[in-house]
């Protein structure tokens, strides 16, 4: 249920955000933050429309109709409105609650793989992506009475992003190039995504690995974050600062 007055106060929140962005832009011209307002202004009213969330929920459920291990709550239109959304109650553990998931005998590695597969399905097959996939919006539970097989529940369908085919192809291409350490391929795909010459930073952000690791060939473990330490984070941060000083900022508002 939506709090009374929330929708009416939203325009004021957007204007306050725009004012803050304008102030920062005046004080720090090198930081281009207007994209924040461009993202928030159309997104906030959509998140406050529960009729739209209901439609998103139904569409998402259609996309996973053949996936027995991915559950989307059933919605009840007769008991719903633009401010009230009634759905089936679904149990499960927060995706971040590894201790409870393990205690329930659920295979955590399989659960992680399933979550990743669900978002790949949304991104590449359907181009209709859940925009708020934090741990509280992804529940993990045992699949029926199986021995460790996980099932996930996707919650909070208020905000989705449509990805056009060109973006999906370019995004797939950059990941393929990263995996193969194909540096020209990374540059080409990143530029198709509108990143420009800051493709090393973009690749580092995607992988959470320093560019030097990404560029290594014949090293299958170079992209693993398991051994990531403070030194790697310092390298990524230093690269980002260099890009900031040379105005290597970008946004993907056209996807």
Q: Mean pLDDT throughout 164-184?
A: 95
Please tell me which residue, 41 or 139, carries the higher pLDDT value.
Answer: 139
* pTM score above 0.75: yes
Quote the CA–CA distance of 194 and 206 in Å, as a whole number.
15
More confident residue, 195 or 10: 195
Collapsing DSSP to helix, strand or coil, 182 comes out as: coil
How much is the pLDDT for 184?
95
38 is catalytic: no
pLDDT digits (tens, 9 = 90+) for 61-107: 999 999 999 999 999 999 999 899 999 999 999 999 999 999 999 99
- Average pLDDT of the chain to the nearest whole number: 86
Instruction: Dump pLDDT digits (tens) for 211-254.
Output: 888 888 877 777 876 656 666 666 666 666 665 544 434 444 44
Instruction: Return the pLDDT at 251.
Output: 42
The single residue of 13, 69, 107, 132 carrying the catalytic annotation is 132
Whole-angstrom distance, CA of residue 70 vs CA of residue 67: 5
Sorted by where each begins, the domain ranges of the chain are: 6-47, 50-162, 165-245
Q: Which pLDDT score is estimated for 250?
A: 43
Answer positive or negative: Cα dihedral of 210, 214, 215, 220.
Answer: positive
């Amino acid at each position: 249920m939506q709090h009374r007055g929330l929708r009416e106060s939203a325009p004021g929140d957007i204007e306050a955000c725009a004012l803050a962005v304008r102030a920062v832009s005046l004080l720090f011209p090198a930081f281009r933050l207007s994209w924040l307002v461009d993202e928030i202004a159309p997104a906030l009213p959509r998140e406050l429309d529960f009729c739209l969330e209901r439609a998103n929920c139904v569409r998402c459920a259609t996309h996973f109709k053949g996936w027995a291990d991915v559950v989307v709550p059933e919605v009840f239109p007769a008991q719903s409105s633009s401010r009230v959304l009634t759905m089936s109650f679904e149990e499960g553990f927060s995706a971040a609650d590894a201790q409870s998931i393990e205690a329930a005998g659920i295979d955590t590695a399989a659960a992680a793989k399933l979550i990743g597969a669900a978002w790949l399905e949304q991104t590449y097959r359907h181009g209709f992506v859940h925009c708020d996939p934090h741990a509280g919006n992804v529940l993990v539970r045992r699949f029926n009475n199986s021995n460790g097989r996980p099932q996930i529940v996707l919650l909070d369908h208020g905000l989705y992003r449509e990805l056009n085919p060109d973006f999906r192809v370019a995004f797939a291409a950059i990941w393929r190039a990263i995996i193969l350490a194909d540096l020209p391929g990374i540059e080409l795909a990143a530029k198709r995504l509108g990143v420009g010459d800051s493709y090393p930073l973009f690749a580092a952000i995607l992988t959470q690995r320093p560019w030097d690791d990404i560029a290594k060939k014949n090293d299958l473990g170079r992209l693993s974050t398991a051994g990531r330490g403070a030194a790697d984070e310092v390298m990524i941060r230093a690269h980002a600062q260099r890009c900031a000083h040379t105005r290597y900022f970008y946004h993907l508002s056209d996807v």
